[in-house]
Amino acid sequence: MSLSRRIGLNTAAQLAGRLINSVMAFAILALFLPRVLPPEAYGVFAFHHTLYLLLTSLLDFGAGPIVVREASRDRGAAGRLIGQLIGLKLRFALVGVVVLIVVAAVFEGFTWRSGLLALAALHLLAHAPAGALTIFAVDMRFGRIAGAAVVGQFAWLLITLLLAAAGVREPALYLLAFGAGLWVHGALGHAWARRVVTIRHDATAAQRRALWHEVWPAGVSMSMAAVYFYIDTVMLRPMQGEEAVAIYSAAYRLMTFALMVPVLFSQVVLPVFSRLWATGGGAALEPFQRRCTRLLLGLGVLVPAALWPVAPDVMALVYPPEYAGGARSLAILSLAVVLVFSAYPHVLTLLAAGRQRLMMVISTAGALLNVSLNLVMIPRFGIEGAAWTTVITELFVLLAAALGAWRCAGVTPKGAWLLRPVLCAAGVAGGLAWLLPLLADAAPIVRVVLAAGLGLAGIAATGVLPLRLEEPTRPADAAAAAGGSA
């Protein structure tokens, strides 16, 4: 099976699973709960749910990608490495549970709601057994990862529907439902992983130190990245109140829905990045990295081109009228999508090259920039200020990661490859600017379908699909390979 086909199938499996998960999560978070809970209660839910997501991204402290990288190079060590990963996740989860309980007490007081939130916080512990699913990333068999997530997500959906049918209006109980789904996911993932690998917890002190030496810079980097990705919502509540959190979260969830593409694609190609770097450094990695960059830019740049003009229609189509004020924030956040898409290949290059410390510096600087800007922008411009802060932060991260990839691996974008996707995006934006005024009185769904159709046509015109990730074999290379075989 060709590399492009293998990556395409695994990415498709990941996308199919994540699409199912995202549709269910979107149905719960965007379509269902805003209609079940009043905006103030939904703001409470969104505030604590964002904290859950923030802490979840910190639980392995960067060990997940490092374990994938090292186990991809030495499959025999996978059982021990995954055992170390599970232990690390468990220790950080215990700390996270304490943090969530303290935050609940500070914001909600010592009430029965705080007690329910304390129970909901225990869901962090479920991420430890779920770490065993890493073996399927190492083996590039992502169907199992997606399957466990789908089952857990379905459990969340089912419990949420039962609560709503019972007339429940307490946001803490819906957070408990979210946590229950993660317990199902973790238990099932651990059981499936044990069928293909013996999970060992017998690492020596020297092995633990060696892994920690590689992990902690990546952990700080991922922690800081989580801060600048989620902190906007957390900072909005004390500065603007629960309703601002609800409206901004509604727009932000639409942006994160699009980001599943580079996230899942990067999970699939990380082992390839690692093996190419181990084989021949930057020279071996550069052709593959350039193709990945072209693919993600070609997909990402069409998002703001198609979404910005119809952001009010999207908000009207998805959310109740109370959330219409998030349309401008959604349009602004669409600019961050293309920046995040474009940054991923450079971040993967740094990770494959073992430059976790440089990633740590970039992420820390991004987090400091984000928090500083939010302190200025949110009081002045509200949720739109938070959106512009996100865009500026992601631009900084992209530029810094691209510079780092060039300096450590000699990897640079190829301008001629990037021009065509940008021109296609400009064509989509121009087409919408001409057509949408003709449909000024049309229903929002008509305008959104038009924008989506032009966006898909733009993606087709970029030529980034189907995947073409192999480097064509040059005659000199073929001759050298033949000589080596002889």
Range of the domain at 24: 1-203
Does residue 57 have a pLDDT over 60? yes
Judge whether 155 lies within some domain: yes
How high is the pLDDT of residue 315?
92
How high is the pLDDT of residue 292?
84
- C-beta atoms surrounding 1 within 10 Å: 8
d(CA 289, CA 278): 14
pLDDT in tens, 146-178: 788 889 989 999 999 999 999 889 999 999 999
How high is the pLDDT of residue 237?
83
Q: Report percent pLDDT > 70 for the chain.
A: 89
pLDDT in tens, 127-136: 899 988 888 8
Does residue 439 have a pLDDT over 50? yes
- Mean pLDDT is highest, among 112-116, 319-323, 352-356, for 112-116
Nearest to 48 by CA among 89, 108, 98, 90: 108
Does residue 474 have a pLDDT over 80? no
Three-state DSSP at 259 gives coil
Confidence of residue 19 (pLDDT cuts 50, 70, 90): low
Confidence of residue 265 (pLDDT cuts 50, 70, 90): confident
How high is the pLDDT of residue 463?
79
Judge whether 182 lies within some domain: yes
Span 246-262, mean pLDDT? 82
Span 30-57, mean pLDDT? 84
Confidence of residue 51 (pLDDT cuts 50, 70, 90): confident
Confidence of residue 5 (pLDDT cuts 50, 70, 90): low
Q: Which of the two residues, 455 and 18, has the higher pLDDT score? A: 455
Confidence of residue 68 (pLDDT cuts 50, 70, 90): confident
Judge whether 331 lies within some domain: no
Q: Please give the tally of structural domains in the chain.
A: 1
What is the number of H-type helices and E-type strands within the chain? 20, 0
Does residue 390 have a pLDDT over 50? yes
Span 382-394, mean pLDDT? 94
How high is the pLDDT of residue 11?
57
Judge whether 283 lies within some domain: no
Q: Are 394 and 363 in contact (CB under 8 A)?
A: no
Q: Are 248 and 234 in contact (CB under 8 A)?
A: no
Does residue 421 have a pLDDT over 80? yes
Measured in whole angstroms, the distance separating CA 476 from the mean position of its chain's CA atoms is: 40
Mean pLDDT estimate for the chain: 83
Nearest to 217 by CA among 370, 93, 363, 348: 363
Measured in whole angstroms, the distance separating CA 73 from the mean position of its chain's CA atoms is: 25
Q: Which of the two residues, 312 and 320, has the higher pLDDT score? A: 312
pLDDT in tens, 186-219: 999 999 999 988 899 888 888 888 888 877 777 7
Q: Are 14 and 264 in contact (CB under 8 A)?
A: yes
Judge whether 447 lies within some domain: no
Core vs surface per residue 419-450: b (16+ CB within 10 A) or e: ebbeebbebbbebbeeebeeeeeeeeeebbeb
Does residue 473 have a pLDDT over 50? no
pLDDT in tens, 266-313: 777 777 887 788 888 778 888 888 888 888 888 888 999 999 999 999
Q: For the whole model, what pTM was predicted?
A: 0.68
Confidence of residue 484 (pLDDT cuts 50, 70, 90): very low
